[in-house]
Amino acid sequence: MDNKNQMKISENERPLRESIRTEKFREATKDCALPDSNDDYLLRWLIARDFDLIKAEKMLRDSMEWRRNFKIDGMLDNYKAPEVLDRYFTGGHIGVDKNKNYLIAVRYGAMDLKGILRSAKKRDYLMHVIGVAERCVTAMRNNPCKFKQSPDAISQLTMIFDMNGFSMRHITYKPGIDTVLQLLQVYEANYPELLRRVFVINTANKVQIFSNNSNQWKAALLEDIDEDQLPVCYGGTLTDPDGNPNCFNIGGEVPTSYYLNGESDVSYKKPLLISRGSKERLEHHVTNPNSILKWDFHSEDGDIAFAVYREKEGGLIPIVPHERVDCHLSSEEGEIRCDYTGVYIVEFDNSFSYFRSKKIWYSISIESENFQNGTINRDNFN
């Protein structure tokens, strides 16, 4: 048998092999509360891990844990973004491309990310962008005829990433860079095979993707996107109902009136001094499974790193990943469900600061439901 015939047989067998592995994957993850059980959803995780069932299962289970901890499944109904994000976040859905992929545009160069992060918590910004991804996934799932070329295709996303206005203020603001990198990590871990193509336009001439020659990048966009799906500002005919040629927020500098002032109530909090180059770990004993561990803290001067762990067999299992938070701008609040009883450790880490100690004010509580009488028991540790 020649190589051409072998290749033809291999290509014909591929859908069958994929189908068999998808069914094995479905069986292995049947205990997971998946947001979508269709084949194309399961295929995303398999493709992302080269059809390695063990790696794909771990990736999916880690993502389900992330969704549960951050209440992603209900966020479109329950999460309310701060006004500054509604007014100054420069991105959104505009239509579909010629291959029926969900189409969004992001004016990153016009976004005052420093102003936004000084006016809202980083968590709010992250949740706002995650909300864009969730609306995309939900729309594709609820309307496959609009967002699929064929019944067996995997729905994907096309993005226009507009760098017009990009300057040194974007490059030199480290919290902004850290936030973007964190978003990329969240995206790669939880939205596999979602992105089809990115058009980066209005770049500096030294970054030759599509430069600020609008004739060049408009022609490229129109090869992939119909005019009526592309805003006027990008060479199409699409406008808002009010005639806005931009179709969504154009960005601009965030007024200082939105900036957080860093003032927080300390009447219900306990002080804790964390020396320079050190960390403090607070142990909390959870006696009832499915209890809720809540925290609320802020620092008087400078950011602090925060994490939550669970003790297991002499080791520590990360529950809330270690992350620096700008709690000097506003209080950091959050909660997790403790599936297991045992010792949970809340960590405040100042080891990255070689010259300055930090004083924080914190309140930590554990709430458990008494299912027999419907009451809630609360243990406060402030």
Give pLDDT, residue 380. 59
Rounded mean pLDDT of 269-275? 94
DSSP state letter for 302: S
For the chain, give the percent of residues with pLDDT over 90. Answer: 47
Rounded mean pLDDT of 111-127? 90
Give pLDDT, residue 225. 87
Kindly state the helix (H) or strand (E) to which residue 321 belongs, with its residue range: strand 315-325
C-beta atoms surrounding 269 within 10 Å: 18
- For residue 171, what are the CA distances in angstroms to 71, 114, 167, 371, 375? 32, 11, 7, 52, 51
The pLDDT tens digits of the residues spanning 335-375 come to 888 989 999 999 999 999 998 999 999 999 998 755 334 44
92, 95, 101, 107 alpha-carbon torsion, rounded to 10°: -30
β-sheet bridge partners, residue 270: 362
In the numeric block, the tokens 């859905």 are attached to 93
Q: Return d(Cα 198, Cα 189) in angstroms, integer.
A: 19
Full DSSP string of 152-173: TSPP-EEEEEE-TT--HHHHH-
Q: With a cut of 50, say whether residue 7 has pLDDT above it.
A: no
Q: 3-state DSSP call for residue 214? A: helix
Give pLDDT, residue 87. 93
Give pLDDT, residue 268. 87
Q: With a cut of 90, say whether residue 209 has pLDDT above it.
A: no
Mean pLDDT of the chain: 85
Give pLDDT, residue 14. 55
The pLDDT tens digits of the residues spanning 69-91 come to 888 998 999 889 999 999 999 99
Strands 358-370 and 291-299: antiparallel
Which domains are delineated in the chain?
3-69 (1.10.8), 82-258 (3.40.525.10), 270-380 (2.60.120.680)
Q: With a cut of 90, say whether residue 229 has pLDDT above it.
A: no
Give pLDDT, residue 368. 79
Confidence at 3, pLDDT banded by 50, 70, 90: very low
